[in-house]
């Protein structure tokens, strides 16, 4: 890792080794933090135990405030360059580094002025489980390259898709954006994941108003342009090339293929975009539905912006199937589920369905991570 890190522009200090058979993860991490001043990240080699992984992440993210990187033992034994490279990408992003930016030649128009990209997703419990809450996560870009993100997570009523506390979450992210950049975004671009067509009107009416209220609460005259786009993967639409035109061994459609006519809605703004290269099987495009846009972007600009945002995932060197903010929101909501794997009861974070929205109180992300700009992408 140190050898490959140098080639990738990452410099490691001399590594410290913990115990081969650690005790309770929280005790082990606390001991390492006290023993080694300035320790930024702990690399743990685990077997296939999901419960141990959950304990490590819960201890590091919520109790100790320490970044952790878990690696399965079989990957250590294999030690392939590709695996090591992927681990280094995660470590660099977790510690505040930048892995990918959009080149000047293909930079979307919206990035020429201050803009914040938001991604939102809600993680629901299993269909038959109503004893656990749903977990809402919203991430926001924090730099001019839209490569670094801060995150807000909330507990809310079981299986409720509308994000109840979006107003407070948006306010927090806008404050953090201003603190880091010293400017107010002129545009807010929201990529909303996990919304079905039957929920469009309900989600838009509530969440768009919540975002507007957040802006006016920060400053009465602050009214940035808002673009609200739903990203869907749960559909059965596929595209195929002629035999000689496909790419890769499966002859899939090339990355960047966009369809916005013939099979789309007759009068609403939607399009299909296949932003990733199909490695196995048939490529599955993402369906984008523009529910609101008062920033005067035309269809080409929205499509080019969405395609560009699919290249900013810090965990890979390839483009992915959805924009990075939507993927990060999904990862943050999934990590919150790991944090709550052991039920936690509190007045402000009810576990049963029907409760009010609240912070992850006894299980919130540790202040050491929340307040350090270089340590906020813990969910990667």
* pLDDT above 90 (res 13): no
Same domain, 68 and 191: no
Same domain, 86 and 148: no
* pLDDT above 50 (res 350): no
Determine the pLDDT at residue 361: 39
Assigned domain for 380 exists: no
**DSSP H or E stretch at residue 90:** helix 81-94
- Which residues does residue 187 pair with via DSSP β-bridges, in sequence order? 115, 225
Assigned domain for 302 exists: yes
Q: Which of 46-55, 82-91, 144-153 has the lowest mean pLDDT?
A: 46-55
Determine the pLDDT at residue 251: 84
What pLDDT digit, counting tens, does each position of 281-338 carry?
A: 889 999 999 999 998 899 999 999 999 999 999 999 899 999 999 999 999 999 999 9
Identify whether the C-beta of residue 314 lies closer than 8 Å to the C-beta of residue 100.
yes
* pLDDT above 60 (res 162): yes
Same domain, 317 and 226: yes
Indicate which CATH number applies to the domain containing 353.
Answer: 3.30.420.10
**Range 79-95 average pLDDT:** 92
107 vs 372: which has the higher pLDDT: 107
Determine the pLDDT at residue 368: 63
32-37: Cβ within 8 A, 24+ apart: 32/66, 33/64, 33/66
Assigned domain for 158 exists: yes
Same domain, 177 and 278: yes
**Range 352-368 average pLDDT:** 47
Indicate which CATH number applies to the domain containing 25.
Answer: 3.40.50.2300
Task: Out of 94, 126, 159, pick the residue that ends a domain.
Answer: 94
Assigned domain for 104 exists: no
Same domain, 233 and 275: yes
Assigned domain for 101 exists: no
27 vs 365: which has the higher pLDDT: 27
Same domain, 142 and 243: yes
* pLDDT above 50 (res 376): yes
What pLDDT digit, counting tens, does each position of 95-146 carry?
A: 989 999 998 888 998 999 999 999 999 999 988 888 889 999 999 999 999 9
Q: How many CB atoms lie within 10 A of CB 348?
A: 13
Determine the pLDDT at residue 281: 81
What pLDDT digit, counting tens, does each position of 42-54 carry?
A: 999 988 878 889 9
Dmax (CA) of the chain: 64
The burial of 331, by beta-carbon neighbours within 10 Å (0-12 exposed, 13-18 middle, 19 or more buried), is given as buried
Which ranges constitute the DSSP H helices of 251-322? 299-309
* pLDDT above 50 (res 254): yes
Tell me the backbone φ, ψ of residue 360, rounded to 5 degrees.
-80, 90
What percentage of the chain reaches a pLDDT higher than 70? 91
- Which residues does residue 135 pair with via DSSP β-bridges, in sequence order? 123, 155
Quick one: DSSP state of residue 62?
I
In this prediction, residue 369 has a pLDDT band, given cuts at 50, 70 and 90, of low
Same domain, 137 and 182: yes
Same domain, 215 and 305: yes
Identify whether the C-beta of residue 48 lies closer than 8 Å to the C-beta of residue 72.
yes
| Domain membership of residue 36 as a residue range | 2-94
Determine the pLDDT at residue 355: 39
Split into its structural domains, the chain has a count of 2
The residue assigned the tokens 């590091």 is 60
227 vs 374: which has the higher pLDDT: 227
Determine the pLDDT at residue 173: 96
Same domain, 140 and 30: no
**Range 270-286 average pLDDT:** 90
Measured N-to-C along each axis, helices 50-58 and 25-35 cross at an angle, to the nearest 10 degrees, of 40
Same domain, 177 and 273: yes
Q: How many CB atoms lie within 10 A of CB 211?
A: 22
Same domain, 60 and 139: no
Determine the pLDDT at residue 372: 66
In this prediction, residue 22 has a pLDDT band, given cuts at 50, 70 and 90, of low
Determine the pLDDT at residue 191: 98
Determine the pLDDT at residue 362: 32
Average pLDDT across the chain, whole number: 88
Assigned domain for 102 exists: no
């Amino acid at each position: 890792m140190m050898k490959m890190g140098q080639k990738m522009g990452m410099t490691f200090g001399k590594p410290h080794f913990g115990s081969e058979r650690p005790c309770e993860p929280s005790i082990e991490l606390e001991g390492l933090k006290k023993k080694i001043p300035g320790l930024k990240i702990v690399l743990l080699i685990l077997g296939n135990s999901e419960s141990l992984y959950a304990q490590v992440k819960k201890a590091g993210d919520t109790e100790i405030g320490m970044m952790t990187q878990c690696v399965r033992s079989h990957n250590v034994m294999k030690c392939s360059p590709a695996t090591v490279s992927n681990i280094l990408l995660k470590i660099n992003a977790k510690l505040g580094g930048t892995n990918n930016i959009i080149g000047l030649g293909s930079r979307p128009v919206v990035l020429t002025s201050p803009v914040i990209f938001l991604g939102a997703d809600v993680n629901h419990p299993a269909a038959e489980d109503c004893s656990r809450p749903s977990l809402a996560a919203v991430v926001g870009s924090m730099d001019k390259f839209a490569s670094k993100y801060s995150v807000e997570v909330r507990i809310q009523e079981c299986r409720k898709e509308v994000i109840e506390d979006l107003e407070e979450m948006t306010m927090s992210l806008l404050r953090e954006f201003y603190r880091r950049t010293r400017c107010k975004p002129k545009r807010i671009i929201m990529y909303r994941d996990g919304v079905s067509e039957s929920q469009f009107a309900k989600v838009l009416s509530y969440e768009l108003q919540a975002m507007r209220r957040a802006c006016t609460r920060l400053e009465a005259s602050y009214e940035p342009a808002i673009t609200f786009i739903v990203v869907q993967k749960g559909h059965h639409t596929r595209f195929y090339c002629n035999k000689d035109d496909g790419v890769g061994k499966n002859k899939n459609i090339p990355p960047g293929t966009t369809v916005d006519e013939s099979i789309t809605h007759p009068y609403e703004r939607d399009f299909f975009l296949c932003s990733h290269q199909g490695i196995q099987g048939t490529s599955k495009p993402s369906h984008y539905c523009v529910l609101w846009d008062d920033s005067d972007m035309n269809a080409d600009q929205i499509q080019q912006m969405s395609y560009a945002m699919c290249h900013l995932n810090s965990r890979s060197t390839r483009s992915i199937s959805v924009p990075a903010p939507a993927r990060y929101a999904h990862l943050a909501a999934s990590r919150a589920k790991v944090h709550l794997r052991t039920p936690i009861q509190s007045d402000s974070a009810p576990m049963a369905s029907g409760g009010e929205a609240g912070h992850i109180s006894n299980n919130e992300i540790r202040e050491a991570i929340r307040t350090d700009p270089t340590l906020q992408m813990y969910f990667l």
